[in-house]
Structure 1
Amino acid sequence: MSVTEMFSYIQGFLSADQDIREDIRKVVQVLEQTAREILTVLQSVHQPSGFKDIPSKCLKARELFCTVRNHTGELKTKFPVEQYYRYHEHWRFVLQRLAFLAAFVVYLESESLVTREEVAKILAIEVDREKGFHLDVEDYLAGVLILASELSRLAVNSVTAGDYGRPLRISNFINELDSGFRLLNLKNDPLRKRYDGLKYDVKKIEEVVYDLSIRGLAKEQESGGDK
């Protein structure tokens, strides 16, 4: 093979790779748009009127996840199965965002932590990397940490809405989450930095609970008070 032929071959390889990346970007853009729509639906729970309508908001979000599943199914076809991590950077952020949204829906429905397997099922992707397009462990953990920040905000807004019991439950949940993350030896720098922010979420929620306690509102909520 001559030098010219060699570089022509390389150019063909680069062009094919660029075509794959462009196809992936188009699908990811649609996924990002759907993620924004889900977030818009769920953000309304922070409003005083939204607390009374949480089940319907979660139902609407679940319906939008059907659209997400269609797009993840399309995304799987855009690259060779064995080259997941070659193109992972293109969809890493949106998968983390979708993992957070799935975790937020599950928390609003049951006040429990969604598992990685549940998130994968909601997104119609795999858990095991050997099976191809999957939810990477670090992407799942990043989504859970975004959830912690969202719940710290929800704790504050719960008080505004007159729901004094929710911040106490959120505090217990976040403390359990913090204990779980302390068991991990995180090597991923972006994930580690995001985890460092968890302590601020814990502190913010503790301040809300403390304020409720000194005002007697937490005890009143536990005893069924209507104030």
Structure 2
Amino acid sequence: MSGDTTMTTSASASAHVDPAIFSSLQSKIDEETAVRDELRAHVDNIQKQGRLTQSILSRIHNTSTDELNDSVLKPASDALSEQAATVKSLSESASKYPFYKWNSIWQRDIQAVISSIQVSEWLKSGNLATLEEIGQRLQVPVNLKNEDAFHITIEDYLLALTNTIEELARLAPNAVTLGDYNRPLQISKFIKDVHAGFQLLNLKNDALRRRSDGVKYSVKKVEDVVYDLSLRGLIPK
């Protein structure tokens, strides 16, 4: 009798689980999959274009300063223009959906684009491209506070900047190899200024705080290059 009671209770409980609940959940899963696929298509294009951009910019490590404009900066500018168009398309698609639900899909690739712009701008002018200038180059909003739409965040900008500093620190000894003894001095001043800027920030993001702390190692790396040039009497007057 007790076994029959158990079976009856179990059947009664099952009757209260409406299969439509799971059908509804599957519909939501399908909707999210479609959104992910839509956004992923844009990000895949950004990745593909980014590999070309980074391949061009990597030439800075074996290109003399007087050849930099024709061999690196012009083709990099063309490649970045194509990426900017794709980022704008991503922005138009992503702005239809909650930003912080989906931004992890493109975050790393957007940071790579920002870093490429920062490196290119420094090579051309010696200046740091601001967050607002990055937004203008990509034709997308930055640091939105009152609107849930695609934008470049402050964290993306700063994380990209740590990548830029690492790339320039790598350039310093390679510039010496190419006989350019002035470039390490320029890099040293720039990354020291950036390091000083990071020290002004009260960062809440743990990953960003760790990355910004690592900037001091890039400062030390370039200082060693400059010190070695000084010992060898190669510092330009």
The correspondence of residues 156-171 of structure 1 with structure 2, limited to 5 A, is 156-171=173-188
Contact 1:41–1:61 (CA under 8 A) maintained in structure 2: yes
Q: What per-residue deviation string (whole Å, max 9, x for no partner) do you get for residues 108-143 of structure 1?
A: 000111101111122221114227221111000011
Q: Per-residue deviation at 1:50?
A: 4.1
Structure 2 gap segments, 5+ residues each: 1-16
Q: Higher mean Cα deviation, 187-196 or 23-32? A: 187-196
Partner in structure 1 of residue 160 of structure 2: 143
Q: Per-residue deviation at 1:35?
A: 0.9
2:65 counterpart of 1:51: yes
Pick the aligned partner of 2:125 from 107, 110, 121: 110
Partner in structure 2 of residue 152 of structure 1: 169
Greater C-alpha radius of gyration: 2
2:75 counterpart of 1:75: no
Identity %: 35
The correspondence of residues 8-157 of structure 1 with structure 2, limited to 5 A, is 8-47=23-62, 49-56=63-70, 57-81=72-96, 83-129=98-144, 130=147, 132-157=149-174
Contact 2:91–2:151 (CA under 8 A) maintained in structure 1: no
Q: Per-residue deviation at 1:14?
A: 1.4
Residues in 2 aligned to 1:79 and 1:66: alpha-carbon distance in whole angstroms: 20
Contact 2:118–2:128 (CA under 8 A) maintained in structure 1: yes
Residues in 2 aligned to 1:190 and 1:31: alpha-carbon distance in whole angstroms: 23
Q: Cα RMSD (Å) of the superposition?
A: 1.7
Residues in 2 aligned to 1:82 and 1:21: alpha-carbon distance in whole angstroms: 10
Q: Per-residue deviation at 1:52?
A: 2.6
Structure 1 gap segments, 5+ residues each: 223-227
Q: Higher mean Cα deviation, 160-169 or 117-126? A: 117-126
TM-score (norm 1): 0.91
Q: Tell me the amino acid that sits aligned with residue 66 of structure 2.
A: K
Residues in 2 aligned to 1:80 and 1:206: alpha-carbon distance in whole angstroms: 44
Partner in structure 2 of residue 225 of structure 1: none
Secondary structure of 1:217's aligned partner: coil
The correspondence of residues 182-201 of structure 1 with structure 2, limited to 5 A, is 182-201=199-218
Residues in 2 aligned to 1:143 and 1:188: alpha-carbon distance in whole angstroms: 14
Q: What per-residue deviation string (whole Å, max 9, x for no partner) do you get for residues 5-51 of structure 1?
A: 2322222111101111112112111101111111111111110x343
2:229 counterpart of 1:215: no
Aligned length: 219
Residues in 2 aligned to 1:197 and 1:70: alpha-carbon distance in whole angstroms: 32
Secondary structure of 2:173's aligned partner: helix
Structure 1 residues 92 and 165, CA, compared in 2 at 3 Å: closer, same or farther?
A: same
Residues in 1 aligned to 2:73 and 2:131: alpha-carbon distance in whole angstroms: 19
TM-score (norm 2): 0.87
